[in-house]
Amino acid sequence: MKRELAEAARDLAAYIRTLDEDLAGPPRPGAAGPKPAPLAVPAPAAAPVPPRPVQDIPDMDALAGQVKACRKCGLGYARLNAVFGVGSRKARVVFVGEGPGFQEDHRGEPFVGRSGQLLDKILETVLGLKRSDVYIANIVKCHPMKDPENPEAHGNDRPPTPEEMSACRPYLEEQLRFIKPACIVTLGSVPTKVLLNTDKGISVMRGHWYDYPAELFGPGGRIKVLPTYHPAALLRNPNLKRDTWEDMKMLKAFLETGKISGQD
């Protein structure tokens, strides 16, 4: 027992050291960001075209095409690229963030900025996985900007509005239907509140397993949900790395055994 504890402490220390060494660089220019501007969602330039109901979509490629053409909310008119999702379409775990930022909008891929690099490190050091082994997506597929006229500005990110999230949510649900993962990891408070339909904060929700409130793939087709901190929160507050490590250990145990400890 003593030996196991010592090994766990050593693993944790190594994990924290790795994350610190790799991500300790100077803050990005403009990271402090300009003073937040008032929320401004552009008026659609043309009448929004409603997408076909998601049930009609035959596969992920067709869904990705629909997301690329989506104008269901103002974000679709301001983004540079729709950010559909990345990774294995047979993944057993789907990581869900809030929405794309500057880097993601430019590259068309989720979690490619500093938060994404940290997420990759966590996947590698705790779970022994690459991003191509899991699936990574966001609640909203387009970059929410404070100033939508200025997609080249840094410090222009803002959280998605409830309307934007409701407009985009069916795409995520359809992605989950195609992938049929065993579990979802919600990264931070926004996806946790939205997917678990709760008002509770992430520090209360993290570290526990929940059931996704809807059966997305038939009777009994339950998906487990494990909330944890958003990697951006770990960049701001390194003390949260330890809890995140605990959460990832819970995920690892579930992926290895198919069971949640303490439950049959």
- 56 φ, ψ (degrees, to nearest 5): -80, -5
Closest CB 105 distance from ligand URA, rounded Å = 9
CB atoms within 10 A of CB 46: 7
User: What DSSP string describes 4-64?
Assistant: HHHHHHHHHHHHHHHHHHHH-SPPPTTTT-SPPPPP-PPPPSS---PPPPGGG--SHHHHH
Instruction: Tell which one of 15, 102, 111, 254 touches ligand URA (CB under 6 A).
Output: 111
Residue 80 DSSP one-character state? S
Q: Which stretch binds ligand URA (CB under 6 A): 43-51, 66-74, 103-111, 158-166?
A: 103-111
Query: Is 98 a binder of ligand URA (CB under 6 A)?
Result: yes
Query: Is 85 a binder of ligand URA (CB under 6 A)?
Result: no
Instruction: Tell which one of 87, 100, 160, 181 touches ligand URA (CB under 6 A).
Output: 100
Binding pattern to ligand URA, positions 121-160, x when CB under 6 A?
A: -----------------x----------------------
Please choose, from the candidates 80, 71, 263, 54, the residue with its C-alpha nearest in 3D space to the C-alpha of residue 173: 54
CA distances from 160 to 115, 120, 129, 153, 236 (A): 17, 24, 29, 17, 20
Nearer to ligand URA, 161 or 217 (CB): 161
Closest CB 104 distance from ligand URA, rounded Å = 4
Closest chain position to ligand URA (CB): 97
Which parts of this chain interact with ligand URA (CB under 6 A)?
A: 97-101, 104, 110-111, 115-116, 138
